[in-house]
Structure 1
Amino acid sequence: MVVLCNFPNMEEARQIGTHLVKRQYAACVNIIPGAESIYQWQGKVCREQEILAVIKTSRKAFAVLNRELAALHSYEEPEIIALPVADGAAGYLAWIASHSTA
């Protein structure tokens, strides 16, 4: 699975990303600075600079990753969107499965 999650700053993205990998909730976290988000929150349109994390995990580990990510994140309602991976390089997919075993 690929999980998308935005963070307010690089420090939080790195801290939580490292935690997820160390605990094997995720095999890999790519941190991409410079995302601009435009959204509605509590009745007003907001525009924020955010950090996008692209998290690779297994379906087996997602439930734990989801709970942990929501608990550690500073946002009241963090974006946690899981996308299934339809196909990919067999070796890479096996590596993800073996490193996200929570």
Structure 2
Amino acid sequence: MSDKTSIERILAAVRAIPRGQVAGYGEVARRAGLPGRARLAARVLSENADPKLPWHRVLRSDGRIAFPEGSRGYREQSQRLRAEGVSVVKGRVRGVKAARSVEELIWGPED
């Protein structure tokens, strides 16, 4: 798979995260068909210039914002998530669990 294709797939996976929901970098990579490529997903987002991309919906696997606390990116991501109704407490998203798969997002967790 070419780098361009990988980038496009990651960006499509980010665009598919619904408003008020979040996903980890690893989950974004997995949804893009690139399991184990969380760092690639993070790099693609860090280099992205599309102002319409909902990059703020992507978090670390533990539900925390990846930017250093107090940084401009940290404040902007917190603000954008809160504007979508997501609770952010001390840099960690509360009450919203990132779905492990698209199926879980639609149908809920497996029993």
TM-score by length of 1: 0.34
Larger radius of gyration, structure 1 or 2?
Answer: 1
Larger helix share, 1 or 2: 2
Larger strand share, 1 or 2: 1
TM-score by length of 2: 0.32
**RCO higher in structure (CA 8 A, sep ≥6):** 1
